[in-house]
Amino acid sequence: MDDTRKHLRRAAEAHEPDREAMLARIDQGMAQDSDARRARRYRRRRQASWAKVSLAALAAVGVLGLGGLAVAAGVRQQAPERPAPVVVAPTGQAATPQPRVSSARPPVSSGPSTPHRSAAPTGDGVISARADINAHSTVYWSQNDLTIDVAQPLTAMTVELRIAQTGGVQSTGDWLTAPPDDFTITVTPSDGYLVYRWVLKPGRTIPAARQLFAAQFNHQTGKRDAGKDTFLVQATASGRTSEVHGEFPAGG
């Protein structure tokens, strides 16, 4: 053991350190350390840059999202509202029943009208009738009205208006207060007349009330004389048949 220590001491005293080699190793270590620090700084800068890009992207997405919400909100605000339904409050009064018609009345002309004319009523107890020229008749269109007062319910009824062909007479329709579907209605030319006929259908009845039947027609321009126009009414009540007939008022 003592010999070994003596040899080591002599070797240490004889050893001269290589200063240049040590400096070279120090420089090399410093260089490697600098490279490592630079690499670490580069990685930190790169991570920071990616973080900034990510934050910018998130901010852009947020802005776009907010913009979309704003646009959607704007669209919702600008969308037209549906109008509220209009509710008509009832007046508390029942509507006046309107007569049922088998054809629409033509519009009333602005031309001169014919004064209302009426013939004397005629009857036999169960029914009575009065012939009139409607006040809305004009110099080219007329309406002949037949008003029938019914005293008892009718199980059969035929009404006939014969309009004399005084020139240019042409049917434009008919009108009645009873339900048109309860009647068979015809308008036919016959022996110089235009004949309007209403026949009550089997199984139908006419109540005891006032009924109106009207013939509507065009004619030659000018005041028309209805003195040749006639009417006929046949009706059955309680198994008894009644009949009335007459003429429309003459005059132009």
Instruction: For residue range 116-129, list pLDDT tens digits in order.
Output: 445 555 566 799 99
Same domain for 145 and 201? yes
Chain segment 132-147, per-residue pLDDT in tens = 999 999 999 999 999 9
- The CA-based angle 104-102-99, given to 5 degrees, is 80
Please indicate, yes or no, whether residues 158 and 236 belong to a single structural domain of this protein.
yes
Is 133 domain-assigned? yes
Distance CA 111, CA 102 (A): 25
- Residue 40: strand, helix, or coil: helix
User: Domains in the chain: how many in total?
Assistant: 2
pTM exceeds cut of 0.75: no
- CATH code assigned at 201: 2.60.40.700
pLDDT score recorded for residue 230: 98
Residue 28 is predicted with a pLDDT of 64
Given a cut of 70, is residue 252 above it in pLDDT?
no
The predicted structure's pLDDT at residue 224: 95
What is the structure's pLDDT at 173? 97
- Per-residue pLDDT at 89: 31
For 195-205, the pLDDT digits (tens) are 999 999 999 99
State whether 150 and 234 are in the same domain.
yes
44-98 per-position pLDDT tens digit: 665 655 444 444 443 443 443 434 443 334 434 443 443 333 333 333 333 333 3
Asked, for residue 3, whether it belongs to a domain, the answer is no
Domain that holds residue 62: 20-77
Residue 84 inside a domain? The answer is no
Residue 37 has pLDDT above 80, yes or no: no
Whether the predicted pLDDT of 21 surpasses 50: yes
In a domain? residue 39? yes
Taking residue 171's Cβ as centre, other Cβ atoms within 10 Å add up to 16
Would you state the structure tokens that stand for residue 176, as one six-digit string? 């009645």
- The distance in angstroms from the start CA to the end CA of the chain is 171
Is 99 part of any domain? no
CB atoms within 10 A of CB 153: 12
